[in-house]
Amino acid sequence: MIISESMSGLSKEEIEDSYMFKLIKRGIKKEFPFVIDVRVDEVSLPSYNTIFVDMILDFETLKRELDMEPQPWIKPFNIPYSAIGINLILKGDDEILYVIRKEFESIIDKVSKATIIPDEYVLKNKRGYRLNFGLGNFILETL
């Protein structure tokens, strides 16, 4: 396990326990039934001011919901498979997959920039500026 701190000085656990992260997680899981978990990307945490969030996907539900076949290189495995886009997991209409990616980004962006969230619940960096969240990877833990 990587133990790291973000450039804001917050740990992965502190971020995942925050109100903003919980809003993002709830919004994504409500909108996308194939997302089984949302996690902070630990690898990029110490390197960027943006907090990237990874989507943990249920492969069978993903295929069924989007009615698409897997890419030829997706084979049964026992280690996580990480991709920057769903188009690297499923083959199908790239325009549809692009729209889905934009929907993920929209939910994250709306929460990240929401002015309605009380100031005490907003995550801030060491200088006191609001932290941004961004879409990380799509992860299949096993097939």
Domain ranges of the chain: 12-140
Q: Spell out the per-residue pLDDT of the chain, length 143, in tens.
A: 344 555 567 889 999 999 999 999 999 999 999 999 999 998 887 677 789 999 999 999 999 999 999 998 888 777 789 999 999 999 989 999 999 999 999 999 999 999 899 989 998 878 888 888 999 999 998 76
Reading across the β-sheet that carries 35-40, which strands appear in turn? 35-40, 50-57, 132-140, 81-83
Q: What is the pTM of this model?
A: 0.87
Conformation bin of residue 12: beta by default, left when phi > 0, alpha when psi is -120 to 50 = alpha
Helix and strand element counts for the chain (H, E): 4, 6
In this prediction, residue 6 carries a pLDDT of 56
